[in-house]
Chain A
Amino acid sequence: MPKFETSEKTFYDLLGRRCSDEELERIFPRAKAELDDHDTENHILKIELNDTNRPDLWSAMGLARLLKTYENPENAKAYDFFSSSEFTADNKGRELHVGEKVKEVRQYSCGFVATGKTVDDEILKTLIQSQEKLCWNFGRKRRSIAMGIYRNDLINYPIHYDGADPDKTHFVPLHMEEDLSLREILEKHPKGQEFGYIIKDAPVYPYLFDDKGNTLSMPPVINSAYVGAVEVGDSNLFVEMSGPGLRDILLCASIMACDMADMGFSIEPVKVVYPYETEFGKEITVPYYFQEPASCTLEDIKHVLGEDISADEAQEALMRMGVYSVVEGSRIFITCPEYRNDFLHPVDVVEDVMIGYGLENFEPEIPKDFTIGRLSPAEEFGRKVKDIMVGLGFQEMMYNYLGSKREYADNMNISTDGMIFIANPMSENYEVVRPSVLPSLLESEGSSQHAVYPHRIFEVGKTAHLDSSDNSGTVTRNTLGFMLADNQAGFNDVNSLVNTLMYFLKKEYTLRSPGEDGRFIPGRCAEIVVDNQKVGVFGEVHPQVLENWGCAVPAVVCEIDLDCICND
């Protein structure tokens, strides 16, 4: 989940009042936000946002905007710098020209100018943070959105965005002093090493430069050390986004423009000129409003929320969420705010009505449909087996299902045949999905020598194996494993336990000698066969295996595939 930090002062100023932490915790849920931490020493609020589809809320400005509007819809701000398909704002001659060559590697770029406010430490921190949140979380680690902020005073318009030769083009990247080619930057600059993979294999690299040839940046990797080095004291900024999807970068530009307007900047449009038609034309003046209208009916609201909400109440609720609406008949049409693009379906409108109406105003009810419940056959059979095992004096255990190759193969004296390995494990301790209950039981024995003997334990749980005949390539089985460990434990004990269990389960079975099985002492183990099918195995654990697990006394174990003998 995205998290951001803000100084108390910035946030309370935006909100228009100071709040206690209890108050913040009370109002934050309206924005699906949580107060993660309040550093009272440094006066910093750390806030976590749960809605990954609302990147507009991932900043102090966006969050305060919603909370303030919720308290009083009259606080809603109108942003007058947007162009749309019907209206084009004056770009005062500022243009960004996109070239043909960049199409294959990173097609779209857009930007706007923010001016009239001097950047201080706090603003710089806030801008960098917004950039990180939008590009990392929403922009999929810069793959779909990258953002650059530049010193507008140093830019000679028009700006150009095109594909450039990775070896012949060069500039001094931010935080370095050396003039490097684009390819060298990917190799040598830390940001090049981190984000270079996005463009590395393309024949040309994305390159942003002004009309006099001064470099702005190599999106999505790094700004230049000159035009791209925004500092405290600057008051005239050019903000640019690039990515493979036009709507994503336009939304991101809208969010940044509204945020920066809330910070006190004045937003000035830049006209982006493409050499071909895009879905919004060849020329797009940015910030650009592209969202389509959305709607829902009063019946939708009643159906989803279970509450009769009038058109007036619904409109009022939407206003609190910053959403303007009109009613035609029983249908409510909304205008999506400039900084949002999350209305995919009428239910998304209904949710905003719900939050605006207040979740506390819905009375919980018990479902009216009567249905008959029952356990699944596998669960019922599993419980029967557990009851029998408890009756036989065994104690139920519960184990983790992920483990290591050492536990499941090496310690057990068997190969890894049929075992499921995780392609990207967190650590080699949790690399294999458990193929058998027996290693879990022996781990218990190895770590329980202080417990009074005999040890009689079992688990009914899942095991998993590779199986090429299954569509998924793997199967998961309900499995019983049990273990008896004691000075005197031997084949006869486990044989008699299996016999008792199968008697109560009403299963006819025969035994046969298994092939080579490194887990057991040869000649002191058997396979359980039902209807000519192997359903389990039991026997005396091999001394080498006992030693591997650090067990001090003999142990006998049994494992049975319950799915094979369940009378489904």
Chain B
Amino acid sequence: MHCKQIEEPWLTNVARAHENGGDTGSRGWSYKFDHEFTRRQVLRSQGTVLSAHQLTKCKKPGKYFGVVRCFRYDEVDATHGADFYQTEGIVIGKDANLKELLGLLKMFATEIAGATDYKYVPGYFPFTEPSIEIHIKHPKLGWFELGGSGIFRPEVTKALGVDEPVLAWGLGIDRMALMNLGLSDIRDLFTPEIESVRTRRGN
């Protein structure tokens, strides 16, 4: 299924950013942008699309977050669901920078996941540069990735009318919830069984 149209001027800006960089200061990815393919409807595989949407109407400075369902083409097992939750957030500000991003990630690691040991690792996402992953140490499971983050590429922000830097992150919160509830299988989090939900209590 295809949507009828994509809002302008965003579509033209984005197409130009992809093809030759447009006004974003980039040389672009040098390929022909496929307008037909772009209108195709897909289930979101991560929440970033909502942040991108918000950019066209954001306040500056501004901070936004969402907890949203995402969908992946994965074989369902103990750690993968066909759909799952991610929390998605952005911070827009003329002085927003890497050190502030690290500060926010630290807050997620220590305050929300309750980790005492955490580390930052350079990552790669096509829409952020630089990109940072945050990893936390679980007393039993060892190190694991809490999520990805970065500063949106100017090809993303400038095409959507934002000149300020935008810090962005997406963290898989089902994993945190599992830890908190003492569960070990993501399917138990979405269980239909009334009794197991009734008797469930947090750590």
When the two chains form their complex, are residues B28 and A448 in contact, meaning their CB atoms are under 8 A apart?
A: no
Q: Are B74 and A426 in contact (CB under 8 A)?
A: yes
* CB of A346 closer than 8 Å to a CB of B: yes
Given the known A-B contacts A344-B28, A365-B102, A472-B41, are A371 and B62 also in contact in the complex, defined by CB atoms under 8 Å? yes
Which of B41, B98, B167, B194: most chain A Cβ within 10 A? B194
CA distance A287 to B112 in the complex (A): 51
A107-115, A298-306, A327-335: which lies at the interface:
A298-306
Contact between B24 and A53, CB atoms less than 8 A apart: no
Contact A371 B63 (CB under 8 A): yes
How far is it, in angstroms, between the C-alpha of A197 and the C-alpha of B74 when the chains are bound? 26
Q: Which of A396, A444, A472 contacts B3 (CB 8 A)?
A: A472
CA distance A457 to B197 in the complex (A): 10
What's the minimum C-beta distance from B1 to chain A, rounded to whole angstroms? 5
In the complex, which of the residues B24, B102, B107 contacts A362, with contact meaning CB atoms closer than 8 Å? B102
> Hey, which chain A residues are within 8 Å of B62, CB to CB?
371
Contacts of B28 in A (CB 8 A): 344
Q: Which residues in window 148-203 of B have CB below 8 A to A?
A: 151, 153-155, 165, 167, 189-190, 192-195, 197-198
Q: Determine the chain B residues whose CB is within 8 A of the CB of A534 once the complex forms.
A: none
Task: Check A303/B165 contact, CB under 8 A, given A51-B124, A365-B100, A402-B83.
Answer: yes
Contact between chains at B104 and A367 (CB < 8 Å): yes
The answer to whether the Cβ of A399 comes within 8 Å of any Cβ in the partner chain is yes
Interface residues of B in 80-135 (CB under 8 A from A): 81-83, 91, 93, 95-100, 102-107, 120-124, 126, 129-132
What chain A residues lie within 8 Å of B30 (beta carbons)? 247
Establish whether residues B99 and A345, one from each chain, have CB atoms under 8 Å apart when the complex forms: no
Which A364-407 residues sit within 8 Å CB-CB of chain B? 364-369, 371, 373, 395-402
Query: What residues of A have a CB within 8 angstroms of the CB of B95 in the complex?
Result: 306, 368-369
Interface status of A6 (Cβ within 8 A of chain B): no
Contacts of B57 in A (CB 8 A): none
Determine if B122 and A347 form an interchain contact, defined as CB atoms under 8 angstroms apart: no
Residues of A437-455 at the interface with B, using a CB-CB cut-off of 8 Å, are 440, 443-445, 447-448, 450-451, 455
* Nearest CB in chain B to that of A426: its residue: B73
Write out the residue numbers on chain B whose beta carbons fall within 8 Å of the beta carbon of A443. Answer: 192
A424 and B40 alpha carbons, distance in the complex (Å):
13
Which residues of chain B are near A365, meaning CB under 8 Å?
99-100, 102-103
Q: A371 with B99: in contact, given A398-B190, A402-B83, A448-B193 (CB under 8 Å)?
A: no
Q: How far is the CA of A401 from the CA of B84 in the complex (A)?
A: 9
Residues from chain A with a CB closer than 8 A to the CB of B151 are 304, 347
For the complex, would chain A's binding face be called helix, strand, loop or mixed by DSSP majority?
loop
Selecting from A163-171, A351-359, A486-494, the interface stretch reads A351-359
Residues A398 and B41 in contact in the complex (CB < 8 Å), given A362-B102, A364-B106? no
| Interface presence of B21 (CB below 8 A) | yes
Interface residue tally of chain B, by bracket? 35 or more
With contacts defined as CB atoms under 8 Å apart, how many contacts are there between chain A and chain B in the complex? Answer: 178
Tell me, yes or no, whether B29 is within 8 Å of chain A by CB: yes
Asked if A191 CB lies within 8 Å of chain B CBs, one says no
Give Cα distance in the complex from A304 to B144, angstroms. 27
Is A200 in contact with chain B by the CB < 8 A criterion? no
Question: Do residues A345 and B93 form an inter-chain contact, with CB atoms below 8 A?
Answer: no
Bound CA–CA A440/B83 (angstroms): 14
Note all chain A residues with C-beta closer than 8 A to B105.
364
| Smallest beta-carbon distance B185→chain A, Å | 13
Inside 8 A of B167's CB, which chain A residues have their CB?
A: 367
Is there contact, CB below 8 Å, between A471 and B5?
yes
Distance of A398 Cα from B194 Cα, bound (Å): 11
**Is there an interface contact between B190 and A430, defined as CB atoms closer than 8 Å?**
no
A440 adjacent to B192 (CB under 8 Å): yes
Asked whether A45 is an interface residue with its Cβ less than 8 Å from the other chain, the reply is no
Closest-CB distance, B110 to chain A (whole angstroms): 10
B129 touches A345 (CB 8 A): yes
Chain A CB within 8 A of B35 CB: no
What string of 1s and 0s marks CB contacts (under 8 Å) between A40-59 and chain B? 00000000001111100000
Measured between C-beta atoms, what is the minimum distance from B158 to chain A in Å?
10
Q: Quick check: is A106 within 8 A (CB to CB) of the other chain? A: no
Task: Please determine whether B103 and A366 come into contact, CB atoms closer than 8 angstroms.
Answer: yes
Q: Are B3 and A401 in contact (CB under 8 A)?
A: no
The yes or no answer to A348 lying at the interface (CB within 8 A) is yes
Instruction: Judge whether A347 and B190 touch: CB under 8 Å.
Output: no
Inter-chain CA distance A401–B44, complex, in Å, is: 13
Q: Which 3 A-B pairs have the closest CB atoms?
A: A306-B97, A369-B61, A306-B99
Residues of A within 8 A of B (CB): 29-30, 32, 50-54, 247, 292, 303-307, 344-348, 350-351, 354-355, 359-360, 362-369, 371, 373, 395-402, 422-424, 426, 430, 433, 440, 443-445, 447-448, 450-451, 455, 457, 462, 471-474
Q: Could you jot down 17 A-B contacts, CB within 8 Å?
A: A52-B124, A306-B98, A344-B28, A345-B24, A345-B129, A346-B25, A347-B151, A354-B98, A362-B99, A364-B106, A369-B96, A397-B197, A402-B83, A426-B76, A430-B82, A444-B194, A472-B3
Apart from A362-B102, A430-B82, 7 more pairs, CB < 8 Å = A52-B124, A292-B27, A306-B100, A307-B98, A364-B99, A395-B198, A447-B192
